Amino acid sequence: MRRRGCCWGPAAPPLLVLVLVPGLGSLLAAKVNKHKPWIETSYHGIITENNDTVILDPPLVALDKDAPVPFAGEICAFKIHGQEMPFEAVVLNKTSGEGRLRAKSPIDCELQKEYTFIIQAYDCGSGPGGTNWKKSHKAVVHIQVKDVNEFSPAFKESVYKATVTEGKIYDSILQVEAIDEDCSPQYSQICNYEIVTTDVPFAIDRNGNIRNTEKLNYDKQHQYEIMVTAFDCGQKHATEDVLVRVNVKPVCKPGWQDWNKRIEYKPGSGSMPLFPSIRLETCDGPVSSIHTTIELQTNYIGKGCDRETYSEKSLQKLCGASSGAIDLLPSPSATTNWTAGLLMDNNDMIFKFDGKQGAKIPDGIVPKNLTDQFTITLWMKHGPSPGLRAEKETILCNSDKTEMNRHHYALYVHNCRLVFLLRKDFDQADTFRPAEFHWKLDQICDKEWHYYVVNVEFPVVTLYMDGTTYEPYLVTNDWPIHPSHIAMQLTVGACWQGGEVTKPRFAQYFHGSLASLTIRPGKIESQKVISCLQACKEGLDINSLESLGQGIKYHFNPSQSVLVMEGDDIENINQALRKVSYINSRQFPTAGIRRLKVSSKVQCFGEDVCISIPDIDAYVMVFQANEPKITISGMDHFARPAAQFERGVILLPDIRIVSTVAKMEHPGDSKDHDRANKPAVLEEMLHNLDFCDILVIGAELDPEQECLELDHVELQGKHLDATNSTAGYSIYGVDSMHNYEQVLRQVRYRNWYTSATFDRKFRVKCSELNGRYTSNEFNLEVNILHSSNSDFMDHVNHMIVQPQFLQSVHHPEGSISAVHNSVVPSVATIVIIICVSILIFIITLGVYRIRTAHQHSSGDNEGSKENEMDWDDSALTITVNPMEKYEKPHQTEEESEEDDIEDEEEDTTSAESDESEEEEEEEEEEEEVIVQKGDKQNATRQEQLEWDDSTLPY
């Protein structure tokens, strides 16, 4: 320093020296900037994220020993060495050497947390141009980026799922995990998890492990859905919570899975599978065999199941049973009134006996002598009898009416045994004979419906119960009954005790229900007919027996209400059970519930029974069928001459029976308010009928002069039969509406003494299912036209209807009443008819005389015209003044006068009737002569052109 002070004294300015001595300047400059700048060897810095200021430790300061020499002792720059470092260093004070490190742009910690680079300081050199500058040594700068909590935690999964088994406590069901994109541990780490959903039996720890706080129950809840959130260590929570779905799996319980408790069945659906997706869960047990029983419980439907509810006669006809069956429990009517006092279920013709009722069968209904062959059929529902030694409960009994108490034959229940008693009458062989036949069956007292048939072919008696044959377990002999003149009384529901008591009364009452009790004398029924009569119309079925698979054994009971299946393979059993279906073949089934029960037994290898399979309790809901509307239509009124009724007149030549059902439109076809205003669509349907009655309205038929008749040839080939009485004609049997139409169109009404009868009224009514569905009441009126042997009435009959061309014609009410009032005579006006007959005679006589005079007067003038066309006036009624015989026969004024005269004569007929009674005998003799002449004229004119008088206004 002293040296530099000597060289650069104040008396010698440097500029002058340089100017004077140029070569010496360079040498001197090198001597001036002889020291390098000095900085620390390393720096540590911190920069806050999204900021540009770096805080260095130690501060950035450069020193130069050349100070205070200008330029040489000053710091002009700091330079950073590194590839694309986002930092720069600036000099704050050249003299002091202070600098500052800053970021060129905001620093993102998430991109880079730390930066390391080299920095050097540069002095200003030896002059203003910066020549001969010197740089410091290299210093290492290490900068850490300070994080800012700008990101929220986010879960790795959108939904977490787990499955647990009910009844267990888990330490950890599943673990949820969230992440934070912040760079620092403080803000990037998840410090806590929390369940947002309240009132759930779950908890979560700080590591995200979820556990249940109580045992879960599958029956209580199958699935839980909870929401979970997360917090980082800066207590910033997740922006979106995560869904955790926990499914509860039941403890493996052996049993049938995937079946519905309610199965809906619509009429006409045919065979419908009951369990289309069922499967058996055995919990991986070593199963060796499976035994399954499917039972359809229908004992509360009708008589044990859904059967046809036709009358017993109709059913027997339908099943081909022998004719002659006598119904002992018919519907109450005028002719069958002995069941009127019994308790009855009208829908199914079931009679209930409460131990206080009995019915007497009138004499003549059942023959006294049943011969050695006869059949008794019945439906019975019976329970155990009260008491230890119960009395006999009589179903059917034929006993003495008075004096004695002998039972000739009887059918009764005693101590849950069915007993048939048959005491034969005494004949040549006075020996012991079979008299009592006993059957012991559990079904007799099971309170269920069963069908019983007792076939008697003496001395053999066979019982059929639900189509199965049973021989008596006990047969006892007895002496025959000696003949007597005591009348017998046949009873149902109790036995008549006519003797050995102070007052005849019923005894041995029946407790239970009976239906369709019949007796058929002289014949026994075949097994085929018996099976048909008791057959159920509903039951279990198997779709496609061929595809059941190998190793499956199955068995149906006779009524197909119980199905037993057995197999070794679980999957084969599953497939077989999926094919089990319900079927109801009735067109109008009984609506209601049919219960189903499926019971199973599983055997394992080496064990008798390894697991227990719970029973299935389900039911089939059979819907109500659309009720049909049966409509009878046809010609409801006609008139015929009396002569035709002697041969017989067809009553219903064009009868039509049509059945329709109302069906609503599909819900998707129109809106609700539109459908409410639209009527239901009528759709024609075909079904059977079981009877049609033609009833006489008014007085019953007089068998001495009239009847209804039908050629029984018309019934051949059909399931129809007919009965006739003075009250009408009844056609019965289960057959189609078409066959009923054909038969009804052949019923004729005969009346061979018509003078006292002027009209008859009939009513036709048909039924389906024994009155469950009935038709409208079709009324028919038939008028008998009485003729006084004149052509006038024949002509009127011809105008009313032509028998050879009978058609159904529908008229408006006004026109029908007009025709009826103008043509048809009333029964209440007999006197008027007699007067009209007298008037007709007078008119006919006048016409005859006029025609005779006219033929003479016009014979010459119109002879040529007679060859072309002849007037057939045999049926015309023209009134002409007899006083004007031969004047202007074609004058129109005379015709109008004739009409006036005719009106006047009709008005005065009643007054003249009394005076003309004395002349009737003479007039009748003259009528015979006139008729004979008229017949000859008509015979000669048949070959000529006839007058079309169908439009004349008579």
The distance from CA 672 to its chain's CA centroid, rounded to whole angstroms, is 21
Tokens for 458? 């003496």
The whole-chain average pLDDT of the chain stands at 79
* Helix, strand, or coil (residue 604): strand
Question: Is 210's pLDDT higher than 60?
Answer: yes
Euclidean distance between CA atoms 47 and 183, whole angstroms: 14
Report which of 809, 786, 795 is spatially closest to residue 653, judged by C-alpha positions: 809
Which carries the bigger pLDDT value, residue 484 or residue 535?
Answer: 535
Q: What are phi and psi of 428, to 5 degrees?
A: -65, -35
Give residue 164's Cα distance to chain centre.
41
- Reported as a pLDDT band with limits 50, 70 and 90, residue 829 is low
Question: 341 - beta bridge partners?
Answer: none
Q: How many CB atoms lie within 10 A of CB 857?
A: 14
pLDDT over threshold 90, residue 341: no
Q: Which pLDDT score, from 0 to 100, does residue 795 have?
A: 45
d(CA 327, CA 88): 122
Q: Counting Cβ atoms within 10 Å, is residue 668 exposed (0-12), middle (13-18) or buried (19+)? A: exposed
- pLDDT (mean) for 582-591: 91
Q: Which residue has the higher pLDDT, 824 or 207?
A: 207
- The pLDDT of residue 853: 61
For residues 743 and 121, give the distance between their C-alpha atoms in angstroms, rounded to a whole number: 132
Per mean pLDDT, which of 321-335, 735-749, 755-769 is the most reliable? 735-749
Helix (H) or strand (E) holding 426: none
Check if the beta carbon of residue 856 is closer than 8 Å to that of residue 930: no
* Residue 202 predicted with pLDDT over 50: yes
- For residue 516 the two structure tokens come to 């369709």
Determine the pLDDT at residue 805. 33
Residue 234, H or E segment: none
Could you tell me if 178 and 210 are in contact, meaning their C-beta atoms sit under 8 angstroms apart? no
Lowest mean pLDDT among 47-56, 741-750, 927-936: 927-936
Answer yes or no: are the C-beta atoms of 701 and 750 closer than 8 Å. no
- Per residue in 682-741, pLDDT (tens digit) is 888 899 999 999 999 999 999 999 999 999 899 988 989 899 999 999 998 899 999 999
- pLDDT computed for residue 315 by the predictor: 82
- Least confident stretch, 91-105, 124-138, 219-233: 124-138
Residue 725 tokens, joined:
């009485």
| Per-residue pLDDT, 847 | 75
pLDDT of residue 318: 82
pLDDT, tens only, 916-941: 444 444 444 444 434 344 444 443 33
What is the CA 903 to chain-centroid distance, rounded?
68
d(C-alpha 472, C-alpha 181), whole Å: 95
Q: pTM of the entire structure?
A: 0.57
C-alpha–C-alpha distance, residues 303 and 379, integer Å: 7
Between 296 and 835, whose confidence is greater?
A: 296
| Residue 273: predicted pLDDT | 93
- Higher-pLDDT residue of 513, 666: 513
Average pLDDT over every residue of 898-914: 42
Average pLDDT estimate for 221-244: 92
| Residue pLDDT, tens place only, 269-285 | 999 999 999 999 888 77
User: What's the pLDDT score for residue 64?
Assistant: 86
* Element at 412 (helix H, strand E): strand 407-414
The whole-number pLDDT of residue 429 equals: 57
Task: Determine the pLDDT at residue 664.
Answer: 63
Rounded Cα distance between 66 and 716, Å, is 148
Higher pLDDT, 527 or 62: 62
Q: Residues near 563 by Cβ (< 8 Å), separated by ≥ 6? A: 293, 294, 295, 540, 542, 554, 555, 556, 580
CA atoms of 803 and 801, how far apart (whole Å) = 6
Query: Measured between alpha carbons, how far is 911 from 248 in angstroms, rounded to an integer?
Result: 108
Tell me the β-bridge partners of 164: 248
Q: Which amino acid is at 221?
A: Q
Could you report the per-residue pLDDT of 756-768, keeping only the tens digit for each?
888 999 999 999 9
* 109-136 mean pLDDT: 85
Q: 198-202, 421-425, 481-485, 788-792: which has the minimum mean pLDDT? A: 788-792
SS3 breakdown of the chain: % helix, strand, coil, rounded to 5? Answer: 20, 35, 45
Distance CA 4, CA 24 (A): 15
Using the structure block, give the residue that is written with the tokens 């006197």: 831
Res. 618 pLDDT band, cuts 50 70 90: very high
Alpha-carbon span 67 to 74, nearest angstrom: 7
- CB 351 within 8 Å of CB 513: yes
Q: Which two tokens stand for residue 832?
A: 């008027």
Concatenated DSSP letters of 812-842: -HHHHHHHHHHHSPPGGGHHHHHHHHHHHHH
- Lowest mean pLDDT, pick from 65-69, 399-403, 511-515, 902-906: 902-906
Cβ-count burial 799-838 (b if 16+ within 10 Å, e if not): bbbeeeeeeeeeeeeeeeeeeeeebbbeeeeeeeebbbbb
Those residues with Cβ within 8 angstroms of residue 98's Cβ, 6 or more apart along the chain or in another chain: 59, 60, 61, 91, 92
pLDDT digits (tens, 9 = 90+) for 425-434: 656 456 778 8
Who contacts 822 (Cβ-Cβ below 8 Å, separation ≥6)? none
pLDDT tens profile 358-415? 999 998 899 887 878 899 999 999 998 766 567 889 999 999 888 888 888 999 999 8
The string of pLDDT tens digits covering residues 551-561 is 888 888 888 89
Cβ-contact 196, 241 below 8 angstroms: yes
By the 8 A CB rule, do 688 and 588 touch? Answer: no
**Both tokens assigned to 330:** 């018919």
Asked whether residue 783 carries a pLDDT value surpassing 90, the answer given is: yes
**Percentage of residues of the chain with pLDDT beyond 90:** 38
Tell me which amino acid residue 894 is. Answer: E
> Is the CB of residue 452 less than 8 Å from the CB of residue 380?
yes
* Structural Rg of the chain based on CA atoms: 59
Please state, in angstroms and rounded to a whole number, the distance separating the CA atoms of residues 644 and 754.
10
CB of 297 within 8 A of CB of 595? yes
301 or 648, greater pLDDT: 648
Average pLDDT over residues 948-954: 40
Q: What are the backbone dihedrals phi and psi of residue 23, each rounded to the nearest 5 degrees, phi first?
A: -65, -30
Length of the chain: 954
Element containing residue 865 per DSSP (H, E): helix 863-868
Residue 347 is predicted with a pLDDT of 62
Distance (Å, rounded) from C-alpha 871 to C-alpha 856? 15
For the cut 70, the answer to whether the pLDDT of residue 866 exceeds it is: no
- CA distance readout (Å), 934 to 387, 869, 872: 92, 18, 11
How many CB atoms lie under 10 A from the CB of residue 718? 16
| Neighbouring residues of 583: CB distance < 8 A, sequence distance ≥ 6 | 270, 271, 272, 538, 539, 540, 541
133 — pLDDT class (breaks 50, 70, 90): confident
For the cut 60, the answer to whether the pLDDT of residue 2 exceeds it is: no
The contacts of residue 654 (CB under 8 Å, 6+ apart) are: 634, 635, 745, 806, 807, 808
